[in-house]
Structure 1
Amino acid sequence: MPGPAETQAATLAKFIEGWKTFTPEAWTETWTDDCTQNFLPFTMGVPPRTKPEVLKLLPSLLGVLHNYKLEIYSVLHDASKGKAAIYATSFADTPFGDFKWTNEYAVFLTFSEDGTQVSKLEEMVDTAFYKEFFPKFQKYMIEKGAPANH
């Protein structure tokens, strides 16, 4: 049985604030230790990631995003099912010439049983954006001598 609606709502608000702050620690602060992040659609072929994997990979990505901003368009919360959905776009400058980070998302959250944490995160991302961004990002990371396996 899902946790109280008020508890879930507070966790949802804290998750969104962490996402807006967008440091590895702030973004994953509400995640359970065994939380998984799944990129959607599945056709992207990105395997689910654990919280420790995300914490390891995220600094590389954040290192190329400057002046990050998150705009939330819609938040839906179904407390009876312990789930929430967020529709948003994030914006940032990148070191890739005039190329800007403009990523549109639908994020689906599943709350822990008590509602105090997020136990599953599913991100439906803008595949057209990712097809353009990730080759630039990988090339940049290789040039910097860093792992580029995002």
Structure 2
Amino acid sequence: MSVTWRHLPASAREIAAAATDAVEAAKARDGAAYEAATARLGGAERSGLVLGAVVRLLLEETHPDGLDGDDVRQVLEHCVRAAAPWRPEVDPHVVLVLLASALGVYDPGEDDSPPDPAAIARHAPLLVADLLAVTGRPVEGYLGAAFTEIERTERHD
């Protein structure tokens, strides 16, 4: 499936293309393609916002009755265990921050600084790919919904 994202501004098109490439590389466990795509994501302003929205949409779909602490732990563990064989540097803390941020409950304490954009870009596609395995759907639909939601939110603010 080839999506051009022509209707989006250039910066959003780059995020959509890089996120799609990163998620597909994660599914295929293609390290070189993943590195290239996540480097593009890390350099794209607001990619974390878009990927966070995708994660939230996927969590809502895969857990329609809501998530409790055990659900979050299971999502975290599954993602990290699935990624570790081919991405041994996967950091469970970054994945936890992604989950907590997507759920709107992340509040870094005085001694905890949030992961940098490059760390988010290296970890979010792993989480997205892992959640997509549950839905069996392509990432493009979730990206489109995320952009629509972000645009709607920004228009109302």
TM-score (norm. length: structure 2): 0.29
Higher RCO structure, 1 or 2 (CA under 8 Å, sep 6+): 2
Kindly name which structure, 1 or 2, has the bigger radius of gyration based on alpha carbons.
Answer: 1
Q: Which has the higher helix share?
A: 2
Q: Counting strand residues as a fraction of each chain, which structure ranks higher?
A: 1
